[in-house]
Amino acid sequence: MERMRGGLERGSQWNWIGLGTAILGLLILARVLPVAEWLFKFDDWVTRLGLLGVLVFMLVYVAATVLLFPASILTIGAGFIFGVVSGTLIVSIAATAGAALAFLIARYLARNQVETRFAGNPAFKRIDRAIGERGAGLIFLLRLSPLIPFNVSNYIYGLTSVKFWPYILASWVGMLPGTLLYVYLGTAGRLGLGGAAGRSSAHSIWEYALFGVGLLATIVVTVWVTRIARKELSKTEVNGP
């Protein structure tokens, strides 16, 4: 049990380290390159496209998910371009669609190739066995506190016994807290870069303060939900020897 809990904690720590590294990298790039100018030009281009811009972004997100491109970068970008509410909705739909497509590819189109890739993986065997016992409820917990990278896990779940629609529902709900956090960070980045570029003069200090409180609350809730999921996962064998 202690080994299991330690593995879960290390997985969560690496998620936060990865997030911090991504933010630090963006800040460094913003200092040495005209990142703000590029981002706002891209934002203007997507805005001019209207609904078509939203659809293009969603299609790119789905393709990136299937091709194993890091989704967190696009999720932060959605917050920058679309804002918290619209960005969360767009990413939630696109991420779920991408997860569904990868799942179907693993189950029906490329099962032999995916199975060959993961058949000898002890983690896959434990997850497969545990999902057979707990079903989509375990996938929900794994989405809240992922032990396996999001894009890779979509293919792995396609090899398990979980049914498609329960998988979709568990994935959609389980991904929401993390999606909201990354989108919020993207929107916060837009406010920061906009202020530096003189594009946010309409925002008052109280709006910035309120947004900061919302971001802090989102982080706290995400950490709290992740800890609950990790505690529940420690009762399973998914991270056991």
Domain count, the chain: 1
- Is residue 18 in some structural domain? yes
Q: Residue 27: which residues within 8 A CB-CB, separation 6 or more? A: none
- Is residue 241 in some structural domain? no
Domain of residue 78 covers 2-233
pLDDT tens track, the chain, 241 positions: 344 444 444 444 555 555 556 556 655 555 555 555 666 677 777 778 889 989 999 999 999 999 988 888 889 889 988 989 999 999 999 999 999 999 999 999 888 888 887 777 776 777 878 887 788 888 998 898 777 788 888 998 998 889 999 999 999 999 999 899 889 988 887 776 655 545 555 556 766 677 778 778 887 888 888 888 878 877 776 655 5
- Is residue 39 in some structural domain? yes
- Is residue 238 in some structural domain? no
Are the beta carbons of 230 and 4 closer than 8 angstroms?
A: no
Q: Report the distance separating Cα 75 and Cα 94, nearest Å.
A: 10
**Cβ count near 209 (within 10 Å):** 10
- Is residue 188 in some structural domain? yes
Q: CA of 155: how far to CAs of 8, 64, 114, in Å?
A: 21, 14, 7
- Is residue 227 in some structural domain? yes
Residue-level pLDDT at 154: 93
Residue-level pLDDT at 209: 75
- Is residue 24 in some structural domain? yes
Residue with tokens 């309120």: 210
- Is residue 239 in some structural domain? no
